[in-house]
Amino acid sequence: MNQERVAINPVDRVEILTLMDNYVDVLLTNTEVVTRPPVSKSGTIPSDTLLAEHGLSLLVTVHVGNDSHTVLFDTGYSRIGVIHNVDMLGVDLGRVEAMVLSHGHMDHTGSLYPVLDRIPQRIPLVVHPGVFDAPRFFGLADGRRLLFPQTVVKEDLLKQNIDLMESTTPTPLAAGTILVTGEVERVTSFEKGLPNASMERHGEIVKDPISDDQALVVHLKGKGLVIIAGCSHAGIINTILHAQKITGVQEIYAAVGGFHLSGPYFEKIIEQTIAEFKKIGPRFLSPMHCTGWKAIHQISQAFPEEFILNSVGSVIALQGTGGE
């Protein structure tokens, strides 16, 4: 995959608010880099709570001087979860200036339309064209194929108040401070995608490489790249290597998001992934969503100082040298 380098403007600070993840814990406490939502804002414990589901949605805000930009990355699984958490957290979706879908699976696109209904202004929505691939299937051990629900339909999207941006190559957003990777080059020997994923193409059932898998990249001033992954079907290490290649920046300050290391097939590559993380040397690691409990546990043990336990409502705030 030939890819010219893409300029990415450094930022003073990046804040990643989790609107949806697989895990929620209202008793977690703040650290220097993570702010947890308060149990109560009024002195009374609320009767409602934040929701978790098998999905991911991250609100990414970057700060450069007095300017800030906010991009929404993915929208969770159900039609209610993200919107419920937005209301519980008091988030103003009106400040979202662009949206990005990591890929077309339902656990990243479920609240897409309810979220768009909450955003008053016309915004760009960045997708890989493969997001519209259908039908797609998930194979079971007994030979059955489960049909993925098609939650992203192009004809429906074009009726929304968006500018649809389809691209396989990197797309700069937020005044060039947030970069969508586009299709990720797959170069590692051990990250081979979802083996039981298939799709129908030209009337035949073929392997689904999930080519639409993509991530976000932010360059934190003086620190290095922050990689924000959706599901890492291309592999989290491949995603990091691709980000280094397209930006020309080699330092990796943090990697957060779904690393897709759950289940018997992917648990076999946990140790290799951890070994590669050690070579890369990120300052922070926050595995989310599809990473899986075993991988999260092993990462926490291998990187006790770098590990961040994520939870719905948490804000991971990373400071560059210009913002301290």
pLDDT digits (tens, 9 = 90+) for 18-51: 999 999 999 999 999 999 999 888 889 888 999 9
Instruction: Give the span between the Cα atoms of 61 and 58, in whole angstroms.
Output: 10
Residue 92 lies inside a defined structural domain of this protein? yes
Q: pLDDT of 263-297, one tens digit each?
A: 999 999 999 999 999 999 999 999 999 999 999 99
pLDDT of residue 106: 97
Boundaries of domain holding 204: 13-323
Instruction: Give the span between the Cα atoms of 57 and 59, in whole angstroms.
Output: 7
Mean pLDDT of 225-253: 98
Residue 200 lies inside a defined structural domain of this protein? yes
pLDDT of residue 67: 97
Percent of the chain predicted with pLDDT > 90: 93
Q: Kindly tell me if the per-residue pLDDT of 323 is higher than 50.
A: no
Residue 3 lies inside a defined structural domain of this protein? no
Q: Kindly tell me if the per-residue pLDDT of 2 is higher than 70.
A: no
**Taking the chain, what is the end-to-end CA distance rounded to the nearest angstrom?**
38
Residue 8 lies inside a defined structural domain of this protein? no
- pLDDT band for 141, please (50, 70, 90 cuts): confident
The count of structural domains within the chain is 1
Domain CATH code at residue 117: 3.60.15.10
Residue 4 lies inside a defined structural domain of this protein? no
Instruction: Give the span between the Cα atoms of 9 and 72, in whole angstroms.
Output: 19
Query: What single-letter amino acid sits at 283?
Result: R
Q: Kindly tell me if the per-residue pLDDT of 152 is higher than 60.
A: yes
Residue 305 lies inside a defined structural domain of this protein? yes
Residue 261 lies inside a defined structural domain of this protein? yes
pLDDT of residue 287: 98
Residue 83 is inside which H or E element, if any? helix 81-89
Residue 100 lies inside a defined structural domain of this protein? yes
Instruction: Give the span between the Cα atoms of 164 and 288, in whole angstroms.
Output: 27
pLDDT of residue 266: 96
